[in-house]
Structure 1
Amino acid sequence: MTGERERGGDRVRQPDLRRLWNALWPALLVLVPGLFGTRGASSEQTDWSRPPEPLAYGLVVFAAASVLAQRRRPGLTLVCCGGAVVTYLLVGYAYGPMLIAVPVAAAGVADAWPLRRALTWNGGLFLAVHLAGAVRFGTETAARHNMPYLGWLAASLAAVAVPTAAWAAVRIRRESEEGVRSALARRAASEERLRMAQELHDSVGHGLAVIAMQAGVALHVLDRNPAKARQTLEAIRDASRESLESLRAELNVLRTPEGDPAPRRAGLGMDDAGVLLDRIRAGGVTVDADIQVRHLPPDVDLAAYRILQESLTNVLRHARATRAGVRVRQDDDVVLLDVADDGAGSGPLSPDGHRGTGIAGMTARAVALGGELVAGPRPDGGFAVHARLPVPAGHGLPAAGMPGSAP
């Protein structure tokens, strides 16, 4: 436990250290060269600049200290750095590392603010620094020492324009990446909502269809066959319990805080097909089943079960069928699922005569796995569903067949 706490503490400290370093290194970029390079620069400009004095080093420290506030107050850093550099130049100190404060301040503003606002502030910084330096180039001494004005114009412009362009590009790219991440997060949330809606449609819809069918059977045999009525009511109880468990599991996902693992019930699969077939048979439909599949990956297993469940639910709800045939087999790297009935063959219609969403949901499940699903009336009457689900390589374990036929 101690080790886990220590490792957890390391994970907390690392972001703090990174944040501290990100705040320090721009200030050090101004401070270190300014303190240790100003005298060397002055030694090469003795004829037309003042030797470094405590004021020069004080201006270096002031500018570096203001950079520490750059991440929260980039405008304040720009004003302080610009003021320190302008004062440094007007007093007459040598051109040197102190000027590093200019691109550092310009980069901070470009990184933090929208482009138009950054250009306005950095334009003011350029004018102030350029004019302060231009005063120096106007002296006869500077002209004699080959200090052309156009060179200073280019240097001061580059000191502001280059970091502005570079950090504005970085900020725009960062915002673009954040936009992409937000779009992906919204898409993931939308896909999760669609998945939950499909799960609720399949599980709760199936349960309600079974309950409705079983209730009709119970009412029909209540007086003549109490034992059959009791059996039917038990089937209603089981179907309603399973539907409530499915509903509860999906609601738990919604209630779980983002980032926490959501509790889910054990996944359904073709191992549960026997219970499903018995429930359909109890609803009054004779089902001939031949299910031969090997161990399937969870996503394929769930999709096959849900397609079988929805197909048989449609038989109960819409087909007015008396018999249905189910065949599920695995050939090499594909699962083939066929469900056919002898009903009206009109497909899944809602009570008001509109097409339901069952086939669309089954098709979406198959397509999501790279497969396909075809559903429609049979030429000789009835309705048929054929699904083809690819199985990734490496899942071919010994067969676990579950043949079944109507009693």
Structure 2
Amino acid sequence: MARIGEAVRRLAERSKDLPAAAVDAAIAVACWSYVMFDAGVDGTFAWWVPLAGALNCLPLLWRRRFPFAVAGITGITTTWLSMVNVLSDVPAAQLVATYTFAALSPPVKRLIAVVLTIIGISVSILLPRDEALNLGVIGIMFAAAYVLGTSARARRDRIAMLEERALRLTREQETAATRERQRIAREMHDILAHSMSLVAIQAEAGPVVVRSDPDKAAQMFDTIAATSRDALAQLRRSLGVLRSAAETDREPQPGIEALPGLVERVRAAGVDATLRQEGEPRRLPPDLAATVYRLVQESLTNTVRHAGASRVDVRLAWTAGALRLEVTDDGRGPGQAPASGALPPSTSANLSRDGGGHGLVGMRERVAAVGGGLDIGPGPGGTGFRVAATVPLD
């Protein structure tokens, strides 16, 4: 029986490349030929036997679409052919139908088909000839066909599960890659927008200051150099994730401890910048600390580039479960002109202060990623601009 099963499996493997209709037609013809051969050997061949054999085997052409119905039709015709002594040995068509419903039918229909098959076998063997030995042999054949069909169904289900798992893994990898690209894009934007804004403002004011105050001009050029070096260092860290693990230096992202230097660079650019903290500071996870730093960096970048502000205040308020960050300037709010005596906004700006630019979109994404909230709009009394974010600490 094991050899028969192995032969059937090999035949199934070889027939995979053939059209299903051609395979089913070949099976139906083979089963019909066997009925004709069996009737001829036993001397029971008559004019109606080819028609009866066709009625028994022809439904196999639709066995894949209607396995339960085909099993019922072939079962009835097989029982009748056995009772009229046309089939005396192997009910080939019914064995194929048994394999098919075991492989394709749902559990309830499989159970019903098994019960009806047992009844049909018993009726076709015991009633006309009362040969109990044949009942055992035929029963083994049907059991083998059912087991082969069940194995085929299990193999198909396993393949489908593996394909679904591979598809899900591919989607997860694509999603992770997309998130990583977005993260790198936000990092690049924050680093370049902030640093280049400070450099541009210092460079634009340099030719004027170098004639009136050479010492201050030297200080401005030192600020440009320091800002550029810091930007290069941060860019190296951000781009390090694109290299292999052996090439990546594991320097941490800037966090809250780097905020004083960030505010100092803005102050060196000519904006009166202050930083104050309220409450008891806590140690933050690296990703959350980097988020806070980038929010302050982007807010100060917008102030320097677009607000024309003379003053900007950064405030961190620590509570038991959250950190509230607020950056407020006295520059140009939505629909406002620059404050009197303030630095003019950069002419190279391409980021609006009404939430439509890439920087503010990146801020919203960062805050949403840590489960916080972001509020962007006019400052107190409708003057200036305010960025307020709340990030959970738990």
Between the aligned partners of 1:358 and 1:252, the Cα distance in structure 2 is 22
Question: What is the CA–CA distance in structure 1 between the aligned matches of 2:178 and 2:25, rounded to whole Å?
Answer: 47
Give 1:265 deviation, angstroms.
3.0
CA distance in 1 between partners of 2:273 and 2:23 (Å): 79
**1:128-277 alignment runs, 5 A limit:** 130=31, 137-138=38-39, 139-140=41-42, 151-159=91-99, 161=103, 162=149, 163-256=151-244, 262-277=248-263
- Indicate the residue corresponding to 1:367 in structure 2: 368
CA distance change for structure 1 residues 351 and 340 in 2, over 3 Å: closer, same or farther?
same
Match among 279, 294, 305 for residue 306 of structure 1 = 294
Q: Distance in 2 between matches of 1:136 and 1:328?
A: 94
Q: What is the deviation of 1:122? A: 5.7
Question: Is residue 290 from structure 1 mapped to residue 276 from structure 2 by the alignment?
Answer: yes
Task: Give 1:260 shift.
Answer: 7.3
1:330 equivalent in structure 2: 318
Partner SS, residue 324 of structure 1: strand
- Aligned-pair CA distance for 1:237: 0.9
Distance in 2, matches of 1:371 and 1:386, equals 11
Q: Give the Cα–Cα distance (whole angstroms) in 1 for the partners of residues 387 and 247 of structure 2.
A: 36
Distance 2:319 2:26 in 1: 73
CA RMSD, Structure 1 to Structure 2 (Å): 3.4
Does the 8 Å CA contact 1:211/1:236 hold for their aligned counterparts? yes
Give the Cα–Cα distance (whole angstroms) in 2 for the partners of residues 122 and 260 of structure 1: 56
**2:7 and 2:96 mapped to 1: Cα distance?**
9
Amino acid at match of 1:300: L
Measure the CA separation in 2 of the matches of 1:327 and 1:314: 16
3-state DSSP class of the match of 1:223? Answer: helix
Q: What does residue 64 of structure 2 align with?
A: none
Distance 1:275 1:260 in 2: 30
Instruction: Give SS of 1:222's match.
Output: helix
> Structure 2: how far apart are the matches of 1:147 and 1:260?
74
Contact 2:323 2:391 in 1 (8 A): yes
Structure 1 residue matching 2:211: 3-state secondary structure: coil
- In 2, the alpha carbon distance for the partners of 1:106 and 1:159 equals 14
**In structure 2, what is the equivalent of residue 20 of structure 1?**
none
Q: Secondary structure of the residue that 1:387 maps to in structure 2?
A: strand
Q: Which is higher, the Rg of structure 1 or of structure 2? A: 2
- Other structure's SS at 2:371 match: coil
Measured in 1, the distance between the counterparts of 2:8 and 2:257 equals 68
The structure-2 alpha-carbon separation of the partners of 1:316 and 1:352, relative to structure 1 and needing over 3 Å to count, comes to closer
Q: Conserved in 1, the CA contact under 8 Å of 2:260 and 2:275?
A: no
In the comparison of the two structures, how many residue pairs are matched? Answer: 291
**In structure 1, what is the equivalent of residue 378 of structure 2?**
377
Q: Percent identity?
A: 29
Contact 2:312 2:330 in 1 (8 A): yes
User: Match of 1:351?
Assistant: 349
The whole-number CA distance in structure 2 between the counterparts of 1:107 and 1:375 is 66
Q: Distance in 1 between matches of 2:156 and 2:388?
A: 56
Instruction: Quote how far apart the aligned CAs of 1:169 are.
Output: 3.5
Tell me how far apart the structure 2 counterparts of residues 165 and 337 of structure 1 sit (CA, whole Å): 59
SS at structure 1 position matched to 2:282: coil
Do the aligned residues in 2 keep the contact of 1:211 with 1:239 (CA within 8 Å)? Answer: yes
- 1:101 and 2:6 aligned: yes
Partner of 1:280: 266
1:58-82 Cα shifts (integer Å, max 9, x gaps): xxxxxxxxxxxxxxxxxxxxxxxxx
Counterpart code for 1:280: V
Partner of 1:288, secondary structure, is strand
Which residue is 2:390 aligned to? 388
Distance 1:236 1:128, change over 3 A: farther
C-alpha distance in structure 1 between counterparts of 2:163 and 2:211, whole Å: 72
354-363 or 281-290, which deviates more: 354-363
Once the two structures are TM-superposed, the CA of residue 165 in structure 1 deviates from its matched residue by: 4.2
* Alpha-carbon distance, 1:252 to partner: 3.5
Distance 1:166 1:382, change over 3 A: same
Contact 1:204/1:246, CA 8 A, preserved across alignment: no
TM-score relative to the length of structure 2 = 0.64
Q: Secondary structure at the match of 1:299?
A: helix
Name structure 1 gaps, 5 residues minimum. Answer: 1-95, 393-407
User: Do the aligned partners of 2:374 and 2:389 also contact (CA within 8 Å) in 1?
Assistant: yes
How do 1:45-64 residues align onto structure 2 when only pairs under 5 Å count? none
1:342 and 2:334 are equivalent in the alignment: no
Classify 1:294/1:168 alpha carbon distance in 2 versus 1 (closer, same or farther; 3 Å).
Answer: same
TM, length-normalised to structure 1? 0.62
Deviations 1:121-141 (A, max 9, x none): 764784587568657854449
Deviation string 1:300-325 (CA, Å, 9 cap, x unpaired) is 11101100111111111111111111
Letter in 2 for 1:229: A
Q: 1:216, CA displacement in angstroms?
A: 2.9
Q: Relative to structure 1, is the Cα distance of residues 240 and 261 closer, same or farther in structure 2, using a 3 angstrom cutoff?
A: closer
Gap change, CA 1:149 and 1:283, over 3 Å in 2:
farther
Distance apart, 1:295 and its partner CA: 0.2
Quick one: structure 1 residues 230 and 148, their matched pair in 2 at CA, closer, same or farther if it must change by over 3 Å? farther
CA distance in structure 2 between the aligned counterparts of 1:216 and 1:181, rounded to whole angstroms: 51
